[in-house]
Structure 1
Amino acid sequence: MDMGHIYRRAPLARAMALMACACLSACKDPVQTRREPAAETAARGLIAIRDAGCGSCHEIPGLDWPKGRLAPSLNGFDDVGLIAGQLPNRPEVLAAFIRNAPLVKPGSTMPPMPVTRQEARDIASYLYGIDHD
């Protein structure tokens, strides 16, 4: 019995498996993103969003005005697979992106934001805690 065809296909199968793993690893972690933030964390996140002016560019649930249209709406952000179409949707990645998007994703049109690390974590927590199903 000629087993050569199986061995010739093995590199292709390995490559496909690695690509599938890479794609899955880029997705958000549903356990991390579905945790309900503490009420005080969510409140601090919304205050930081207002103070930083995030609504000037983004439509953000819980923020009545302004309702920016220059950047993507953040309605249902907890269901987004990738941040900015490329980054894994995980809290620590989102917080880093919020603080300095061009550093995290070169070429990003979102400017660095005037928020502390804690404020960025609070904003991320707020965005993950909004359920828009």
Structure 2
Amino acid sequence: MPASLKWLAGLFAASVVAAIVAGGAMFAQSRTRTRIMAEQVSGGSSAAGRVAIAAYGCGSCHVIPGIAGANGQVGPPLTKIAVRASIAGKLPNDPAAMTRWLEHPQAVVPGNDMPEQGVTRRDARDMTAYLYTLK
């Protein structure tokens, strides 16, 4: 292979690597911005929310991205819950409604399939923060 082609191939390979690195950095920045915004609007911690979601066993009924073993088929999947228009088909999808729903689903929509789990206000805020990262 002529030297000029080797140089061109090396330049192309370096460009591909740079594009992959830049794309990864942009993805990481986007996820960080999403997490920060979710925590600001909910008043919770998404990291603590992830722990609370697992502790309350939400994944036994729901598919929840990022939660180990959360592959339940009883309730709706919570993928992209942050961009849905409503919660339980009845409530506007906003942080206050999400928190209220997680704390007392039977009081909000009597007779629905989601059981009361005794979720505390703090845990509900944290869980809301995590769920609002799912875009």
TM-score calculated relative to the size of structure 1? 0.68
What is the distance in 2 between the residues matched to 1:70 and 1:82? Answer: 19
Shift of 1:85: 0.5
Which of 90, 99, 105 is equivalent to 2:103? 99
Shift of 1:106: 1.5
Matched, 1:86 2:90: yes
TM alignment of 1:1-133, pairs within 5 A:
35-37=37-39, 41-131=45-135
Shift of 1:105: 1.0
RMSD: 1.8
Residues 105 and 115 in structure 2, CA contact (< 8 A), matched pair in contact too = yes
Q: Counterpart of 2:75 in 1: which secondary structure?
A: coil
More helix, by proportion: 2
Q: Which amino acid in the other structure matches residue 69 of structure 1?
A: Q
What is the distance in 2 between the residues matched to 1:67 and 1:90? Answer: 25
Give percent identity, aligned residues only.
Answer: 38
Q: Which amino acid in the other structure matches residue 88 of structure 2?
A: A
TM-score calculated relative to the size of structure 2? 0.67
Listed as ranges, the gaps of 5+ residues in structure 1 are 1-33
Q: Which residue of 2 aligns with 1:13?
A: none
Q: Counterpart of 2:96 in 1: which secondary structure?
A: helix
Q: Counterpart of 1:67 in 2: which secondary structure?
A: coil
